[in-house]
Structure 1
């Protein structure tokens, strides 16, 4: 889930399910690491550059993995081809026009929404970065519910698909909402806005997940990456609209 190295002593489906539930913890770490330089640049050079710095840091910390998934899913959905052919398109290493357009608009939306938060204050911008990173990782657990199958037999999607109980995903998301609310207390109104933004992010990711499952007959690693980016974007848009 990141470029940060960890020791892995066991990797099977039960472990994969627990990893998806622990993903928001990774979101907290990455969100904090991206928020710090973003807030510093915003303080010295303005909110727009601060937003670009934070979004670039998040991309670097994941080596663009989720953005790559978003582009692949856009190409697959945009192809209009049957599931098998769409999955083949998604697996190719190149990127098509649908992927380019989706990446461009998504990154512009994230930067524009986050810039407004940094313009208000460096601290509010930092909290927004944290919220979108956590929302993105909460979406991973919901994408791996037991009711969601894998689209193909191999790959990351097959390893993590159908490994998370709905109650566990709900509990993790609720805990994340509480933590964001507590963090938001340092900025007054953010105590309410951050949990609401998390919910908005998860709803946006759920809509994309539903579309992908219908279109591809299940999930892949690319689908999970796309839902993570969708959750982050919807979270930031909600924060911008609520400002």
Structure 2
């Protein structure tokens, strides 16, 4: 006569011969586990990535520049910071009339104008794009004439492009559009691959007008143009974009073939 069999094994014991079931909360062996690295060991890598990204942005997208003088007043003041578009030239864009552009010194334009030299740290931070470029051989002016244009000044103005007088609201208050000194009286035609530039502070800007005796006749080669200044970024209370003035949109400004 069969009787009731009572299983007296503990719930923690497995089937016979199996040594008991594995518990779900059993500790995992440390042999295959990975310990998280301390933050300070990853910091050099993060800094390196940040520097590379800053360098790429500065080289191909945007670069900050420090305004060293008052030659572009009142559009830009000394010690302002501007952001320069370096991307569109990669797609074939060329400087247009009215744009404010940064360019490398095309032929000792800065000779006799002392420039504060940056220290080693400033040079490094500037080279990777973490500081505005300063103390370098760069200038900033407004494009007045492009290839094929005839630009002229007679008396105190107005400045003419292809015989069209320009209304220039951006010229520094109290200045005349043209200067009456020897360099300020001219009539030039811009050759292919070059631009003619002038500062907004007309009586305080050593621009194309005063380098007509140079080998390039005061013209700036397109190959020396770094890019177009698109934003006045600092100080923040003067933040603004730098659009092309309406005066350069007037009909008939382009030269007649």
Q: TM-score, normalised by structure 2?
A: 0.24
Bigger Cα Rg: 2
Task: Choose between structure 1 and 2: higher helix proportion.
Answer: 1
